[in-house]
């Protein structure tokens, strides 16, 4: 990967995750550098409903190596769009 900015890593991980999971991305929640590369946290729309407040979203963590390639991903949670985090 020629460009290793936060923006470039996040964008690439989000695009790859959409393709791997088959769901549209809602956006990035976080991007951080690790010893092995990057850890990206993203939200995807898993189930679209009417009204929109009942959509099911999911949060995924994506491990990206120093070359910018996705090495692994996993879902860390699912929730309704209208659900408020209590932490």
| Domain locations in the chain as residue ranges | 6-80
Q: Is 66 helix (H, G, I), strand (E, B) or coil?
A: coil
Position with higher pLDDT, 40 vs 68: 40
**Where are the alpha helices (H) located in the chain, listed in sequence order?**
6-21
pLDDT band at 87 (very low <50, low <70, confident <90, very high): low
| Exposure string over 7-17, b if 16+ CB within 10 A, otherwise e | eebbbbbbebb
Percent of residues, the chain, with pLDDT higher than 90: 85
- The DSSP 8-state label assigned to residue 3 in this structure reads -
pLDDT-derived band of residue 28, with 50, 70 and 90 as boundaries?
very high
């Amino acid at each position: 990967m020629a460009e290793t900015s936060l923006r470039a890593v996040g964008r690439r991980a989000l695009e790859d995750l959409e393709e791997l999971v088959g769901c549209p991305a809602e956006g990035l929640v976080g991007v951080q550098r690790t010893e092995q590369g990057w850890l990206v946290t993203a939200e995807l729309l898993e189930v679209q409903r009417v009204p929109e407040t009942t959509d099911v979203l999911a949060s995924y963590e994506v491990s990206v190596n120093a070359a910018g390639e996705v090495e692994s991903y996993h879902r860390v949670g699912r929730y309704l769009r209208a659900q408020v985090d209590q932490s």
